[in-house]
Structure 1
């Protein structure tokens, strides 16, 4: 029970941010499109660049973001192929995006800080780069494909600065270049801003939610099965294979992988849905419900795993 209450206490501010986001749009008429642009084009690249430089990279650690990026992309394309004719709007594209990722940043990083020692929390944060890269490339593509042609989707993807921030960060890290302490204390502030605005986007996306067309039971059911059942079982399968046959990773990295697999739906589902006008209300409601469900779901699956 102590894990449950610790988790509840830690994530409570996230719900405050959701409420603040809702009222900032409802009462103050803050444009959610502007916040989405700030997240993707300003805060995201800075967070990715600074985090990429902060981890000492070896082959096993580098494996994690590479594996998850490939895994996320495969799941997204499979989901888009399977469900592309299920809806006659961009819902299938939002489903494909959400199938391939989770709220590894806004929600997962606080969990990593709770459960892991600092060095392992840093490894988790580095692994989160896989989600950010996925969301900015494959995820952006499968979402944009609902409203744009293939060429237009690729062009929009290549204009996202977060992609180049990641590449530059990796290159400088491998060259041994670091961020001066005076600068790193400044860039660290962007992580907090990224988390706060990201959760506020959930609340902003709920403005205009209409009962009926936006409360799609089929959409919610499929996304929940993929995120809360398929993802942890698939990652447990990978852990089993490595532990018994390949032995490339270690128990600490298994913990990072499992935590990565059990977070709720990604908050950036709403961000991209807003930017691309792809059912943001439906995405916001589904992400919000998954976040609430995770309050009970995460302690349960951690107990079944054996705890950290």
Structure 2
């Protein structure tokens, strides 16, 4: 019960940010497209660069974001092939994109602080780069391809500054550069701004829910099944295989990977859907419902994972 209450206290502020987003659009006529651009083209690259240049790199640490990036990409293209048989419009693209990632930042990082050792929390934050890179590269491409040609989509991906920030951060990390101490507090402020604006955008995306028939039960069921059933099942399978045969990762990293897999749908999917005008209201509904479900789902899954023999 104490774990559940602690988690609840971590998630409640996120709902307040969603309410602020609804208020800012409904009463202040704020432009959600502008907020989406700030998130995707300014805040995300800075956060990615800071995390990449700060973490201590070794084989297991580097493996984690690569693993999750490859897993997300595999889930995305596999599900896209399936959903193209069900939907004739870009709903298939949006489903494939959104179910292959999760809210590893706004919800995943507080969970990591709760359940992981401080040094493993730093590794988790670095692993979150996998989500940001997927969302802003492969995920962006898949979603954009619902409205644009392959060439146009690839050009959009190549222009995303988050990819350039990641590459620059890795290079400077290898060369031994560090973020000056005078900027450390500022980077923490940026992380807070990213979290708040990201959740506000989720609320802003609910502006036309009633008029656009955004509540799609089939769409929601697909997202919840893949995110809350398929994802943790795949991670448990990998952990079982590594624990019994490969022995590459330790038990702390097992819990890190499991937490990464059980977070709800990512709020950033609303950002991309908004920028590309691919049913952002429908995506907002699905993200909001998955966040509510996660309130009860996450403590249960953490409890069940603790009972497993790893």
TM-score range, shorter chain: over 0.9
Report Cα offsets for 1:50-95 as digits up to 9, x if no partner. 0111210100111000000011001101111110132232211110
Question: Counterpart of 1:271?
Answer: 271
Conservation of the 8 A alpha-carbon contact between 1:50 and 1:184: no
Displacement of 1:211: 6.7
Question: Counterpart of 1:10?
Answer: 10
Report Cα offsets for 1:88-113 as digits up to 9, x if no partner. 32211110111210000111111111
Question: Counterpart of 1:171?
Answer: 171
Question: Counterpart of 2:102?
Answer: 102
TM-score, L = length of structure 2: 0.97
Q: Which runs of 5+ in 2 are unaligned?
A: none
Displacement of 1:183: 1.7
Question: Counterpart of 1:65?
Answer: 65
Distance (whole Å) between structure 1 residues aligned to residue 9 and residue 185 of structure 2: 26
Question: Counterpart of 1:257?
Answer: 257
Distance (whole Å) between structure 1 residues aligned to residue 87 and residue 233 of structure 2: 27
TM-score, L = length of structure 1: 0.98
Distance (whole Å) between structure 2 residues aligned to residue 214 and residue 87 of structure 1: 15
Displacement of 1:185: 2.1
2:202 matches 1:202: yes
Distance (whole Å) between structure 2 residues aligned to residue 68 and residue 162 of structure 1: 17
Conservation of the 8 A alpha-carbon contact between 1:215 and 1:282: yes
Displacement of 1:114: 1.8
TM alignment of 1:120-131, pairs within 5 A = 120-131=120-131
Distance (whole Å) between structure 2 residues aligned to residue 112 and residue 201 of structure 1: 24
Distance (whole Å) between structure 1 residues aligned to residue 190 and residue 251 of structure 2: 31
For residues 307 and 189 of structure 1, do their structure 2 counterparts lie closer, same or farther at Cα, with a shift above 3 Å needed? farther
Superposed structure 1 runs of 4+ greater than 4 Å apart: none
Conservation of the 8 A alpha-carbon contact between 2:273 and 2:283: yes
Distance (whole Å) between structure 2 residues aligned to residue 14 and residue 99 of structure 1: 20
User: RMSD in angstroms over aligned alpha carbons?
Assistant: 1.2
Distance (whole Å) between structure 2 residues aligned to residue 173 and residue 293 of structure 1: 38
Displacement of 1:28: 0.4
Question: Counterpart of 1:49?
Answer: 49
Distance (whole Å) between structure 1 residues aligned to residue 98 and residue 135 of structure 2: 9
Q: Which runs of 5+ in 1 are unaligned?
A: none
2:141 matches 1:141: yes
Distance (whole Å) between structure 1 residues aligned to residue 105 and residue 149 of structure 2: 30
Distance (whole Å) between structure 1 residues aligned to residue 256 and residue 290 of structure 2: 21
Distance (whole Å) between structure 1 residues aligned to residue 123 and residue 175 of structure 2: 19
Local SS of the residue matching 2:220: helix
Local SS of the residue matching 1:119: helix
Conservation of the 8 A alpha-carbon contact between 1:39 and 1:197: yes
Question: Counterpart of 1:213?
Answer: 213
For residues 212 and 38 of structure 1, do their structure 2 counterparts lie closer, same or farther at Cα, with a shift above 3 Å needed? closer
Local SS of the residue matching 2:68: helix
Question: Counterpart of 1:86?
Answer: 86
Distance (whole Å) between structure 1 residues aligned to residue 14 and residue 217 of structure 2: 25
